[in-house]
């Protein structure tokens, strides 16, 4: 059983608030915040993207009262989040507040960092051949870093799945969200954990025993999180959802052989050595015996993480950052005429400032990056709007291709070539 999955997700990924309703407002710390979109809705909570006149956007997770009229769900998630703040790969909790709607009904709320696209969305939007090694490695490392920290603090996430791993455009990393089912190892206070398709074998047994009214032993351990991550990475590599596969008898009899088959089917797309390292990393997470499963700390020293990968151009379209890169815009002939070059710089800055605050603009005259336009916006929201409106536009008779670009690489002057 899954906890409700209200994502602190992307501005573009939530449904618009019903236009026939009165505008929904939250009063947060004495300031009125307007609801821009509902990002997720579950049985016990909903998440909204909100903004105010003075502050940037954020996410509000609003909890409903539980069946007993209490706020256990709110108190539990608040307690976990407050205990694990400060890690770059875990969603930031800004504060907590009580909201009173026009009918006088009070609800407890968390004010959270607003994140962007989820791995679930990446799986839907990605190729049927799977994602690039760069993206898989980036996601795997970020999630393992989060799990190392979480597990050292004694916590089990207990609901790791693609919808609970989100991209942060400003920090350029993936972060974990939704700690509604999390618990201290050895003190499991939730009978039903994890989500179908990502549930470890020992959690399946425990859930079945709980449904039968029987005790499930001493509870699950941090190993259940590694199982879930192994499935997520296998889905990212294969480009297919594995919910039916992991329920099959073939998987139960010999999951390692199924993993081998998936890799042999896709290996022609990738160089052999990285594929073998990724395969072995995933298999180390998918032992049916939790005692044989890799820990997060051990997984991070896999040889897979020592291989440098370049991002595919598709990766830079999928993962927003504050830096926009425009391709197919400028002829080389314009780069070596100083007057023409200055005119182009001025024209591009004027055009790009229509979509947000431009902090810097760079058009390299030589490789790497020759003739490409790099535009640094004040925030990822502005660059996303520019990317949406500039893609497909014509400039000097040519169709513009707009991707994002890692801010950290741009700041270092590292203009690497992407894989086409």
For the domain that residue 38 is a member of, what is the CATH number? 3.30.200.20
CA atoms within 13 A on the CB side of 410: 21
**3-class secondary-structure state, position 117:** coil
Residues 237, 153 within the same domain? yes
For 188, the token pair is 């499991």
Residues 136, 268 within the same domain? yes
Options 18, 71, 83, 142, the catalytic residue: 142
Between 23 and 110, residue with greater pLDDT: 110
**Mean pLDDT, the chain, integer:** 88
Range of the domain at 355: 320-412
Give pLDDT, residue 6: 53
Residues 89, 224 within the same domain? no
The proportion of the chain whose per-residue pLDDT surpasses 70, expressed as a percent, equals: 91
Residues 109, 127 within the same domain? no
Q: How far apart are CA 59 and CA 47, in angstroms?
A: 7
Question: Which residue intervals of 268-414 are DSSP H helices?
Answer: 272-285, 296-299, 313-318, 338-352, 380-390, 407-411
Known catalytic residue: 339? Answer: no
Q: How far apart are CA 226 and CA 228, in angstroms?
A: 5
pLDDT at 14 over 50: no
pLDDT at 267 over 90: no
How does residue 11 score in pLDDT terms, banded at 50, 70 and 90?
A: very low
CATH of residue 398:
3.30.70.330
Does residue 19 lie in a domain region?
A: no
Q: Is 61 part of any known ligand binding site?
A: yes
Q: H or E segment at 58?
A: strand 58-63
pLDDT at 215 over 90: no
End position of a domain, from candidates 98, 113, 128? 113
End position of a domain, from candidates 284, 311, 338? 311
Per-residue pLDDT, averaged over 290-309, amounts to 96
Does residue 254 lie in a domain region?
A: yes
- Total domains in the fold of the chain: 3
Between 325 and 54, residue with greater pLDDT: 325
Per-residue pLDDT, averaged over 56-79, amounts to 87
Q: How far apart are CA 181 and CA 158, in angstroms?
A: 6
Residues 53, 123 within the same domain? no
Does residue 66 lie in a domain region?
A: yes
Q: How far apart are CA 245 and CA 242, in angstroms?
A: 5
Residues 183, 272 within the same domain? yes
To the nearest 10°, report the CA torsion of 114, 378, 117, 199.
-50
Does residue 360 lie in a domain region?
A: yes
Between 196 and 41, residue with greater pLDDT: 196
Residues 396, 283 within the same domain? no
Per-residue pLDDT, averaged over 318-347, amounts to 90
pLDDT at 3 over 60: no
Residues 203, 337 within the same domain? no
pLDDT at 17 over 50: no
Residues 135, 195 within the same domain? yes
The proportion of the chain whose per-residue pLDDT surpasses 90, expressed as a percent, equals: 64
Residues 128, 80 within the same domain? no
Known catalytic residue: 260? Answer: no
Does residue 195 lie in a domain region?
A: yes
Give pLDDT, residue 174: 98
CATH of residue 204:
1.10.510.10
pLDDT digits (tens, 9 = 90+) for 164-175: 999 999 899 999
Does residue 148 lie in a domain region?
A: yes
Contact (Cβ atoms closer than 8 angstroms) between residue 134 and residue 311: yes
132-152 in b/e form (b: 16+ CB < 10 A) is: bbbbbbbbbbbbbbbbbbbbe
Q: How far apart are CA 190 and CA 188, in angstroms?
A: 6
Options 159, 178, 225, 382, the catalytic residue: 159
End position of a domain, from candidates 58, 88, 113? 113
Does residue 383 lie in a domain region?
A: yes
Give pLDDT, residue 364: 92
Residues 86, 37 within the same domain? yes
Residues 243, 146 within the same domain? yes
Does residue 420 lie in a domain region?
A: no
The neighbouring-strand residues paired with 168 are 173
pLDDT digits (tens, 9 = 90+) for 336-377: 888 889 998 999 999 999 999 999 999 999 888 888 999 999
């Amino acid at each position: 059983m899954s906890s409700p999955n209200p994502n602190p997700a992307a501005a573009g990924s939530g449904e618009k608030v019903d236009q026939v309703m009165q505008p929904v407002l939250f009063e947060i710390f004495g300031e009125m915040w307007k609801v821009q979109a509902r990002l997720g809705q579950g049985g016990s909570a909903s998440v909204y993207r909100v903004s105010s006149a003075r502050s940037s956007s954020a996410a509000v997770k609003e909890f409903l009262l539980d069946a007993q009229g209490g706020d256990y769900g709110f108190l539990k998630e608040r307690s976990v989040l407050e205990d694990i703040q400060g890690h770059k790969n875990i969603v930031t909790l800004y504060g907590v507040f009580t909201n009173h709607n026009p009918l006088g009904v009070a609800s407890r709320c968390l004010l959270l960092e607003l994140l962007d696209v989820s791995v679930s969305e990446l799986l839907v939007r990605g190729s049927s051949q799977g994602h690039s090694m760069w993206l898989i490695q980036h996601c795997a490392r970020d999630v393992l870093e989060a799990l190392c920290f979480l597990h050292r603090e004694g916590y089990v996430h207990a609901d790791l799945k693609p919808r609970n791993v989100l991209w942060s455009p400003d920090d350029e990393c993936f972060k974990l969200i939704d700690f509604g089912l999390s618990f201290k190892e050895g003190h499991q206070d939730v009978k039903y954990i994890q989500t179908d398709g990502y549930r470890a074998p020992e959690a399946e047994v425990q859930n079945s025993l709980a449904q039968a009214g029987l005790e499930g032993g001493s509870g699950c351990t941090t190993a259940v999180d590694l199982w879930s991550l192994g499935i997520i990475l296998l889905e990212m590599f294969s480009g297919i959802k594995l919910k039916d596969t992991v329920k099959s008898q073939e998987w139960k009899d010999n999951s390692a052989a199924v993993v081998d088959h998936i890799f042999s089917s896709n290996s022609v797309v990738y160089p052999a050595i990285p594929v073998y390292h990724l395969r072995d990393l995933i298999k180390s997470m998918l032992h049916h015996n939790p005692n044989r499963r890799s820990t997060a700390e051990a997984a991070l020293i896999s040889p897979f993480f020592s291989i440098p990968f370049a991002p595919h151009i598709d990766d830079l379209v999928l993962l927003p950052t504050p830096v926009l890169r425009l391709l197919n815009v400028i002829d080389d002939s314009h780069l070596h005429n100083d007057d023409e070059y200055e005119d182009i710089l001025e024209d591009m800055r004027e055009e790009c400032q229509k979509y947000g605050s431009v902090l810097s603009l760079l058009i390299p005259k030589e490789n790497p990056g020759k003739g490409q336009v790099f535009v640094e916006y004040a925030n990822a929201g502005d660059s996303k709007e520019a990317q949406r409106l500039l893609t497909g536009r014509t400039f000097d008779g040519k169709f513009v291709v707009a991707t994002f670009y890692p801010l950290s690489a741009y700041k270092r002057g590292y203009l690497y070539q992407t894989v086409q």
